[in-house]
């Protein structure tokens, strides 16, 4: 691989960084108040020199790198600065990482979602590091009066061999700060990486294990009050009236009032999803007092009429029909069955009808999955202080850039007067993309004219909506007399979201292919959930392919490879959204690492693979079923996500995906009775616990020099089918409906 | 409201609160010890685990009125410098993802190893059954407990 020149529009990138000024970045950061252990070990520099938006270099050589993206467990706060430090040739032990505030002037794409942070940040972060390094080299060349080409950098030092000059970065940082930003920088050849590809510890662990305030819910400010909301008990209902006269007299209560989070005529953008906009706010001095007063508010609700919700989806205006009525599990299912009969074609290759007519064997199976709740361990919360026309907010959220717009619109305060601090997220999984609670917090603060921290109880959180949609897919496969797959038919949809990715595998591998989709409107709000849509697609498709392989008398792993080879040799149709070689790569790797075909006695094994978020993942799961109880022995994951920045952290993420996938497949479910979400807390919404986790998890990465692709999500979708397929091997029963625990004890 | 005299992490503390206030909220709202986390409020998730005379309890279910005359220890109090063998093992195994549940996990693990310095896999599963980790770090937690058991 050649050294590469950055093709980024660096001028604007670096220029915009230079405009804001370093002091500003520091003043935003409340987390800087609780210093990490590294800061205690190193003497803080007397003076900070700002190199660019991501980096400050102190006169003592200490380098501070701002991690621009919110951290929610993906370890981005460690891996993003590692990328900068790599190109900067910094000494990692002298690097301090700080969380940047929301700063749309300086940073691009400050959000969690779509496993894209490293992929999108890769070139800008490297360019930032390389630019800082070049500036330092130029400063050294100037100071020592030698050619810049003769300066070498290593581990935070500059040196010029022939004149025997050596200096640490801090010594030349002030001079470097006066130099113009270079037009072009050379990025390293990946084979020269020293830091990327080595495992570095999560920079926040010392704070996490000692209970330091890191999370939004820990945020505290002088004069701050605690706020909670009361939302309607059912989807399809709205607030009619309330009486808080008794509750207001309870100890510690400041005020109780009605709030409106989003105005009815507001054109909602992509992440402004929320059903309950008319709420009761309870504000008081302490959480316990507010919780008690909440119970004493007398409330009356009425049925909500159907309406059209106005939408502005990234410039595309439209509306969404929100039906009235109180939905129950059965009524929803009935509507889904009806809708599946009126599906629209999303992809068609060849002549599926004829293929099915001449098939010697047709396999048809239907898969379903219920609503899921994200269940972040840190309940939704946000701090807000609306002080006249200035807004200061702090807390955990995934899409600060987008939420800032909605907040500005709601408060009528310009974006430049809104400051959002990003705290560590106690889980996100998609839920914290929909930051209606931030807007609620700000509206409540505006009303009481005081800083407040809004906290949801677990029940508020679990019944507020923004669930993973309810899905159903029916697959039909046509095998000819040679057991070749000649036809494939997908009919899938959801309430309210259609889960299909019509151009993904096995599209491209089957001559005659038909994809039909449908949607059912619902007033239950839904949104992104770790690996949106893929989490169900993979589960259904990979379970079905297992069954098709069996019907064709083929090994399930080899069957997948055979199809992928077909797609590579002669791709059918257009826009096939995957690379067969990389797909085969993870299957070959997992085959090799699991000694596929040579499993131990008494162990049942299943395989699954999927492509999403630009990465490929495959799993082999080994389990035993003893006395009707499932015990998972081992899960082997193979991933191709390109270059792996921080391998041990990447493994941790994949291990989490495996455990999360098993837990969700087995237990995850939200259900409804007359619009009321039935599961309100962890007593009935079962979560996976330690004893149900696999005894062993191994993760392997395909080694290549492809620029990094996503990792937060790709290892999650295939887990479901790896479990279903290994359970089939153990029990002889196929599982078609989630949660699996309804059919097997776990 | 009433005055309660508490011993938290070896320090005497006085709070004036409703006698039914759970220790979770006394710690978080009144004593500025926010390491103990709110997760469910019904003793199902373990995020709020603290020690009462060394035993792991869910602080969301422990009223302040029952916390007088006992020694309360929180995540902030299990070591001076974050160097309890369990904390060190957590660093060694780089356990956390989001990190929110980890204080509760550590408190349960410390209590387990105090009673049972060499726990079997089953002992660990049982002692940790009350602590949910939504990110799925269970295999690392278990490995860290085994490492810590060699150093307590």
What tens digit of pLDDT does each residue of A409-434 get?
999 999 999 998 889 999 999 999 89
ipTM above 0.95, yes or no: yes
Same domain, B47 and B71: yes
Mean pLDDT computed over A218-228? 97
Q: Cβ separation of A426 and B99 shorter than 8 Å?
A: yes
Same domain, B17 and B51: yes
* Structural domain that includes position B55: 2-77
CATH numbers and ranges of domains, chain A: 4-208 (3.30.365.10), 216-308+380-455 (3.30.365.10), 470-742 (3.30.365.10)
Q: Cβ separation of A660 and B134 shorter than 8 Å?
A: yes
Nearest Cβ partner of A211 from B17, B39, B103?
B103
Which of A284, A690, A720 would you mutate first to test chain B, the one with the most B CBs within 10 A? A690
In angstroms, the separation between the Cα of residue A740 and the nearest Cα of chain B is: 19
Residues 6+ apart with CB under 8 A from B47: A377, B36, B37, B38, B39, B40, B100, B101, B103, B104, B131, B132
Look at chain B and report how many structural domains it folds into. 2
Given a cut of 80, whether residue B101 has pLDDT beyond it is yes
How many CB atoms lie under 10 A from the CB of residue A126?
23
Look up the CATH number of the domain holding residue B37.
Answer: 3.10.20.30
Given a cut of 90, whether residue A399 has pLDDT beyond it is no
Mean pLDDT computed over A92-98? 84
Query: In the numeric block, which tokens belong to residue A739?
Result: 């949660």
**Which chain A residues have a beta carbon less than 8 Å from that of B32?**
220
Nearest Cβ partner of A205 from B21, B90, B141?
B90
Residue A227, preceding bond cis, omega within 30 degrees? no
What is the percent of chain A where pLDDT is above 70? Answer: 90
Given a cut of 50, whether residue A163 has pLDDT beyond it is yes
Q: How confident is the model at residue A1 (pLDDT cuts 50, 70, 90)?
A: very low
Nearest Cβ partner of A377 from B1, B124, B132?
B132
| Total number of residues shown for chain A | 746
Q: Cβ separation of A287 and B29 shorter than 8 Å?
A: yes
Nearest Cβ partner of A682 from B40, B74, B136?
B40
More confident residue, A271 or A339: A339
Residue A222 burial class via C-beta count within 10 angstroms: exposed 0-12, middle 13-18, buried 19 and up: exposed
pLDDT of residue B89: 98
In angstroms, the separation between the Cα of residue B31 and the nearest Cα of chain A is: 12
**Which chain A residues have a beta carbon less than 8 Å from that of B74?**
211
Same domain, B59 and B91: no
Q: Which residue of A has its CA nearest to B82?
A: A210
**Which chain A residues have a beta carbon less than 8 Å from that of B33?**
211
Same domain, B73 and B103: no
Which among A60-69, A625-634, B102-111 has the top mean pLDDT? Answer: B102-111
Q: What is the pLDDT of residues A248-257, one digit of tens each?
A: 999 999 999 9
Placement of tokens 């002992």 in the chain: B123
Residues 6+ apart with CB under 8 A from A741: A666, A667, A686
Given a cut of 70, whether residue A152 has pLDDT beyond it is yes
In angstroms, the separation between the Cα of residue A318 and the nearest Cα of chain B is: 36
Same domain, B89 and B69: no
In angstroms, the separation between the Cα of residue B109 and the nearest Cα of chain A is: 12
CB pairs under 8 A between A and B: 191
Same domain, B115 and B137: yes
Same domain, B30 and B63: yes
Mean pLDDT computed over A329-343? 97
Q: Cβ separation of A689 and B132 shorter than 8 Å?
A: yes
Q: Cβ separation of A376 and B99 shorter than 8 Å?
A: no
**Which chain A residues have a beta carbon less than 8 Å from that of B120?**
none
pLDDT of residue A102: 64
pLDDT of residue A11: 35
**Which chain B residues have a beta carbon less than 8 Å from that of A688?**
136, 138
Same domain, B72 and B7: yes
Same domain, B66 and B92: no
Given a cut of 50, whether residue A553 has pLDDT beyond it is yes
- Alpha carbon distance B90, B106 (integer Å): 8
**Which chain A residues have a beta carbon less than 8 Å from that of B89?**
none
- DSSP SS3 for A229: strand
Given a cut of 60, whether residue A304 has pLDDT beyond it is yes
**Which chain B residues have a beta carbon less than 8 Å from that of A220?**
32, 34
Query: In the numeric block, which tokens belong to residue A423?
Result: 């705290």
Is B141 in contact with B103 (CB distance < 8 Å)?
no
Q: Which helix H or strand E contains A441, and what residues bound it?
A: helix A436-448
In the listed set B13, B42, B77, which residue is the last one of a domain according to the structure? B77
Which of A202, A211, A661, A691 would you mutate first to test chain B, the one with the most B CBs within 10 A? A211
* Mean pLDDT, all residues of chain A: 89
pLDDT of residue A2: 34
CA torsion angle for A432, A265, A234, A518 (degrees, to 10)?
-80
- Alpha carbon distance A281, A318 (integer Å): 31
In the listed set B51, B77, B103, which residue is the last one of a domain according to the structure? B77
Nearest Cβ partner of B128 from A72, A73, A690?
A690
What is the percent of chain A where pLDDT is above 90? Answer: 74
Nearest Cβ partner of A458 from B21, B39, B141?
B39
Residues 6+ apart with CB under 8 A from A376: A425, A426, A427, A428, A429, A431, A432, A461, B98, B100, B134
Same domain, B101 and B144: yes
Given a cut of 70, whether residue A562 has pLDDT beyond it is yes
* DSSP letters spanning B44-87: SS-TTEEEETTEEEEGGG-BGGGSTTSEEE-GGGS-SSS--HHH
Same domain, B72 and B96: no
Q: Cβ separation of A74 and B97 shorter than 8 Å?
A: yes
Same domain, B61 and B91: no
Estimate to the nearest angstrom the gap between the alpha carbon of A538 and the chain centroid.
Answer: 17
Query: In the numeric block, which tokens belong to residue B50?
Result: 């603290």
Residue A517 burial class via C-beta count within 10 angstroms: exposed 0-12, middle 13-18, buried 19 and up: buried
Q: How confident is the model at residue A17 (pLDDT cuts 50, 70, 90)?
A: very low
In the listed set B77, B110, B126, which residue is the last one of a domain according to the structure? B77
Given a cut of 60, whether residue A75 has pLDDT beyond it is yes
Mean pLDDT computed over A130-158? 94
pLDDT of residue A32: 23
Q: What is the pLDDT of residues A513-536, one digit of tens each?
A: 999 999 999 999 999 999 999 999
Which of A208, A251, A723 would you mutate first to test chain B, the one with the most B CBs within 10 A? A208
Which of B27, B97, B108 would you mutate first to test chain A, the one with the most A CBs within 10 A? B97
Q: Which residue of B has its CA nearest to A200?
A: B94
DSSP lists the bridge partners of residue A225 as: A452
Look up the CATH number of the domain holding residue B143.
Answer: 1.10.150.120
Task: Break chain B down into helix, strand, coil percent, rounded to 5.
Answer: 40, 20, 45
More confident residue, A111 or B151: B151
pLDDT of residue A14: 45
Sheet of A452-455: strands edge to edge? A253-260, A278-284, A225-230, A452-455, A381-387, A390-395, A418-422
Q: Which helix H or strand E contains A302, and what residues bound it?
A: strand A298-303
**Nearest 5°: CA angle at A532, between A528 and A534?**
170
- DSSP SS3 for A516: strand
Helix axes of A436-448 and A400-411: crossing angle, nearest 10 degrees: 40
Nearest Cβ partner of A377 from B17, B100, B139?
B100
Q: Cβ separation of A656 and B135 shorter than 8 Å?
A: yes
Q: How confident is the model at residue A4 (pLDDT cuts 50, 70, 90)?
A: very low
- Alpha carbon distance A62, A9 (integer Å): 28
């Amino acid at each position: 691989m050649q050294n590469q020149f950055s093709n980024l529009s660096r001028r604007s990138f670096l220029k915009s960084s230079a405009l804001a000024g370093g002091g500003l970045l520091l003043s935003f950061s409340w987390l800087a108040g609780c210093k990490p252990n590294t800061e205690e070990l190193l003497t803080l520099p007397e003076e900070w020199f700002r190199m660019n938006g991501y980096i400050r270099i102190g006169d003592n050589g200490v380098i501070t790198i701002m991690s621009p993206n919110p951290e929610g467990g993906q370890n981005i706060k460690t891996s993003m600065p590692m990328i900068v430090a790599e190109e900067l040739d910094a000494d990692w032990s002298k690097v301090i990482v700080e969380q940047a505030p929301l700063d749309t002037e300086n940073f691009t794409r400050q959000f969690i979602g779509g496993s894209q942070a490293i992929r999108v940040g890769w070139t800008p972060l490297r360019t930032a590091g390389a630019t800082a390094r070049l500036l330092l080299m130029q400063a050294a060349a100037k100071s020592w009066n030698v050619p810049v080409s003769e300066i070498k950098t290593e581990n935070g030092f500059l040196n010029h061999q022939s004149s025997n000059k050596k200096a640490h970065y801090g010594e030349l940082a002030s001079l470097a700060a006066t130099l113009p930003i270079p037009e072009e920088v050379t990025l390293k050849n990946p084979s020269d990486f020293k830091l990327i590809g080595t495992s570095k510890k999560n920079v926040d662990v010392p704070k996490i294990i000692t209970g330091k305030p890191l999370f939004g819910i820990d945020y505290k400010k002088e004069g701050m009050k605690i706020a909670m909301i009361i939302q309607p008990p059912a989807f399809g209902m709205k607030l009619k009236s309330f009486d808080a006269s008794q509750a207001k007299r309870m100890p510690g209560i400041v005020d109780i009032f009605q709030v409106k989070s989003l105005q009815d005529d507001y054109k909602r953008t992509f992440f402004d999803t929320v059903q309950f906009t008319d709420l009761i706010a309870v504000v008081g001095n302490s959480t316990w007092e507010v919780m008690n007063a909440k119970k004493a508010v007398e409330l009356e609700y009425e049925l909500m009429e159907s309406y059209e919700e106005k939408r502005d989806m990234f410039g595309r205006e439209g509306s969404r029909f929100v039906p009235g009525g109180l939905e129950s599990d059965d009524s929803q299912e009935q509507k889904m069955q009806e809708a599946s009969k009126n599906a629209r074609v999303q992809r068609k290759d060849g002549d599926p009808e004829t293929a099915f007519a001449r098939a010697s064997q047709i396999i048809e199976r239907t898969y379903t999955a219920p609503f899921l709740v994200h269940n972040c361990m840190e309940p939704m919360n946000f701090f807000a202080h609306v002080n006249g026309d200035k807004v200061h907010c702090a807390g955990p959220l995934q899409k600060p850039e987008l939420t800032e717009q909605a907040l500005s619109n709601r408060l009528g305060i310009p974006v430049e007067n809104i400051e959002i601090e990003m705290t560590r997220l106690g889980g996100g999984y998609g839920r914290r993309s929909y930051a209606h609670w931030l807007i609620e917090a700000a509206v409540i603060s505006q009303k009481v004219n005081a800083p407040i921290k809004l906290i949801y109880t677990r029940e508020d959180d679990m019944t507020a909506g923004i669930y993973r949609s309810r899905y159903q897919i029916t697959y039909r496969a046509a095998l000819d007399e040679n057991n070749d797959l000649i036809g494939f038919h997908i009919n899938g949809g959801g309430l309210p979201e259609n889960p299909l990715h019509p151009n993904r595998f096995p599209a491209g591998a089957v001559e005659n292919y038909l994809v039909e989709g449908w949607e059912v409107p619902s007033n239950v709000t839904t949104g992104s959930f770790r690996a949106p849509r893929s989490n169900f697609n993979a589960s259904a498709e990979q379970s079905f392919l297992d069954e098709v392989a069996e019907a064709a008398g083929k090994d399930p792993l080899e069957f997948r490879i055979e199809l992928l080879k077909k797609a590579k040799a002669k791709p059918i149709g257009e826009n096939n959204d995957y690379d067969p070689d990389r797909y085969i790569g993870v299957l070959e790797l997992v085959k090799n690492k699991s000694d596929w075909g040579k499993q131990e006695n008494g162990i049942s094994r299943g395989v699954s693979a999927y492509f999403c978020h630009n990465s490929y993942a495959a799993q082999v799961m080994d389990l035993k079923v003893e006395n009707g109880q499932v015990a998972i022995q081992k899960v082997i994951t193979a991933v191709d996500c390109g270059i792996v920045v921080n391998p041990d952290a990447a493994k941790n993420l994949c291990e989490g995906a495996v455990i999360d996938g098993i837990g969700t497949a087995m237990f995850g479910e939200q259900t409804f009775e007359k619009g009321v979400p039935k599961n309100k807390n962890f007593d009935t919404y079962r979560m996976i616990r330690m004893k149900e986790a696999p005894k062993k998890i191994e993760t392997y990465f395909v080694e290549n020099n492809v620029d990094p692709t996503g990792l937060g999500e790709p290892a999650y979708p295939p887990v479901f089918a790896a479990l279903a397929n290994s359970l089939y091997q153990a029990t002889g029963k196929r599982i078609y409906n989630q949660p699996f625990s309804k059919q097997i004890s776990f | 409201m009433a005055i309660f005299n508490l011993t938290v992490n070896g320090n005497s503390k006085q709070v004036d609160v409703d006698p039914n206030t759970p220790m979770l909220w006394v710690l978080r709202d009144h004593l500025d010890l926010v390491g103990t986390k709110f997760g469910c409020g019904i003793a199902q998730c373990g995020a709020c685990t603290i020690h009462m005379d060394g035993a792991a309890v869910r602080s969301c279910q422990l009223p302040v009125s029952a916390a007088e005359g006992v020694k309360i220890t929180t995540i902030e109090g299990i070591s001076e410098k974050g160097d309890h063998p369990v904390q060190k093992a957590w660093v060694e195994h780089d356990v956390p993802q989001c990190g929110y549940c980890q204080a509760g996990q550590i408190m349960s693990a410390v209590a387990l190893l105090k009673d049972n310095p060499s726990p079997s896999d089953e002992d660990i599963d049982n002692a940790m059954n009350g602590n949910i980790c939504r990110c799925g770090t269970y295999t690392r937690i278990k490995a860290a407990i085994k490492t810590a058991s060699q150093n307590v």
